[in-house]
Amino acid sequence: MLRDNFCGTVKVLADNKSTGVIKPNRIAIVPFRSTLTHRNPDPGKFYYRRRRIKLPSFCRRHTLSSSVNTFCDLPFNKIKVAASGEVTMCCFQSGTLGNLMKSSFSDIWESNAAKLIRRATEAGELHEMCTGWGGCPFLCKPRVNQPVTFEPAYPTQIELDLPNTHCNIGGTSPTPETACFMCPRSIPDFIADVDITLEIAKKLSFLMPTLTDLRIQGLSELFWKDRVFEVLETLGFEQYKHQCHFSAYSNAIVFNTPQQTRFIDACPDSRLFFSIDAVTHETYIKVRRLPAFDRVIANIKEFAKNKKDGQHFEIANNINMVNLHEAVPMVDLAADLGAEGVQFNPTHDGGTGRVDLHNVQVNESNYQEFARVQDLIIERGHQRQIPVILTRPLALHYPDMAKVGAIENNPQSRWKKLLNLIAK
Ligand code: SF4
Q: For residue 225, report the distance from its CA to the centre of ligand 1, in Å.
A: 32
Q: For residue 34, report the distance from its CA to the centre of ligand 1, in Å.
A: 14
Q: pLDDT digits over 169-198, tens only?
A: 999 999 999 999 999 999 999 999 999 999
The C-alpha atoms of residue 345 and residue 273 are separated, in whole angstroms, by: 13
H or E element at residue 68: strand 66-70
Candidate of 34, 35, 71, 72 to mutate for ligand 1, largest count of ligand atoms within 8 Å of Cβ:
72
Q: For residue 63, report the distance from its CA to the centre of ligand 1, in Å.
A: 26
Q: What is the DSSP string of 19-57?
A: T--PPTT-EEEEEPPP---SSS--TT-----EEEEEPPG
Q: For residue 94, report the distance from its CA to the centre of ligand 1, in Å.
A: 10
Q: For residue 415, report the distance from its CA to the centre of ligand 1, in Å.
A: 18
Q: Which amino acid type is present at position 409?
A: N
C-beta of residue 344 within 8 angstroms of C-beta of residue 333: no
Ligand 1 atom index nearest CA of 117:
6
Task: Please indicate whether residue 136, judged by its CB atom, sits closer than 6 Å to ligand 1.
Answer: yes
The C-alpha atoms of residue 311 and residue 184 are separated, in whole angstroms, by: 30
Q: For residue 353, report the distance from its CA to the centre of ligand 1, in Å.
A: 20
> What pTM, to 2 d.p., does this model score?
0.82
Q: Which of 87, 120, 116 is nearest to 101 (CA)?
A: 87
Task: Please indicate whether residue 109, judged by its CB atom, sits closer than 6 Å to ligand 1.
Answer: no
Task: Please indicate whether residue 380, judged by its CB atom, sits closer than 6 Å to ligand 1.
Answer: no
- With cut-offs at 50, 70 and 90, classify the pLDDT of residue 9: very low
C-beta of residue 150 within 8 angstroms of C-beta of residue 68: yes
pLDDT value of residue 424: 47
Task: Please indicate whether residue 155, judged by its CB atom, sits closer than 6 Å to ligand 1.
Answer: no
pLDDT value of residue 249: 98
Please report the beta strands in 286-329, taking only residues with DSSP state E, as ranges in sequence order: 311-319
Q: For residue 93, report the distance from its CA to the centre of ligand 1, in Å.
A: 6
Q: Which of 120, 109, 159 is nearest to 143 (CA)?
A: 120
Cα–Cα distances (Å) from 68 to 106, 252, 363, in that order, read 21, 38, 37
The C-alpha atoms of residue 280 and residue 283 are separated, in whole angstroms, by: 6
Residue of the nearest CA to atom 2 in ligand 1?
136
Q: pLDDT digits over 123-175, tens only?
A: 999 999 998 877 898 987 889 999 998 888 899 999 999 999 999 999 999 99
Ligand 1 atom index nearest CA of 91:
4
Q: pLDDT digits over 198-231, tens only?
A: 999 999 999 999 999 999 999 999 999 999 999 9
When pLDDT is averaged across residues 291-304 and rounded to a whole number, the result is 98
The C-alpha atoms of residue 47 and residue 341 are separated, in whole angstroms, by: 17
Q: Which amino acid type is present at position 397?
A: H
Q: pLDDT digits over 45-54, tens only?
A: 333 444 555 5
Cα end-to-end span (Å), the chain: 46
Residue of the nearest CA to atom 1 in ligand 1?
130
Q: pLDDT digits over 86-133, tens only?
A: 999 999 999 999 999 999 999 999 999 999 999 999 999 999 999 887
Ligand 1 atom index nearest CA of 89:
5
Residue of the nearest CA to atom 8 in ligand 1?
72
Report the half-sphere exposure of 290 (CA within 13 A, side-chain side). 20
Q: pLDDT digits over 222-281, tens only?
A: 999 999 999 999 999 999 999 999 999 999 999 999 999 999 999 999 999 999 999 999
